[in-house]
Amino acid sequence: EVQLQASGGGLVQAGESQRLSCAASGFTDDDYAIGWFRQAPGKGREGIACFDSRDGNTWYADSVQGRFTVGSDNTEKSVYLQMDSLKPEDTARYYCAADSDLIFSSQYQVSSYDYWGQGTQVTVSS
């Protein structure tokens, strides 16, 4: 059974940084993509970043480009989302999702991922 565990959320002030981690278990190998999504109250779930371990490809939504970085933490066997220069509008519940057959052109779509973590809350105060 594939399971995803997201961690690292909390309360930070605007301009500060925070790092989220997503640990995946249950895959038979390391060939899968991890997408990061967020959902603010009253809004839909938004795809913001993706790391594809199959070829190292990364993708960022315009809203986080230049401020967020996604990558693989081989020591922890997880995928991280480094969030810098945080803004109050980044406040949301953040989710990681995984799929071993992801078509990279659809990495921003919720429906592209088979497995989801429970999410972690990030709150940015002004």
Helix, strand, coil distribution of the chain in percent, nearest 5: 5, 50, 45
**Does residue 97 contact residue 27 with C-beta atoms inside 8 Å?**
no
**Does residue 94 contact residue 122 with C-beta atoms inside 8 Å?**
yes
Confidence of residue 82 (pLDDT cuts 50, 70, 90): very high
Give the percent of the chain with pLDDT over 90.
Answer: 80
- 109 Cβ contact partners less than 8 Å away, ≥ 6 residues apart: 47
> What is the per-residue pLDDT across 28-47, written as a single tens digit (0 to 9) for each?
888 899 999 999 999 999 99
Confidence of residue 117 (pLDDT cuts 50, 70, 90): very high
Confidence of residue 77 (pLDDT cuts 50, 70, 90): confident
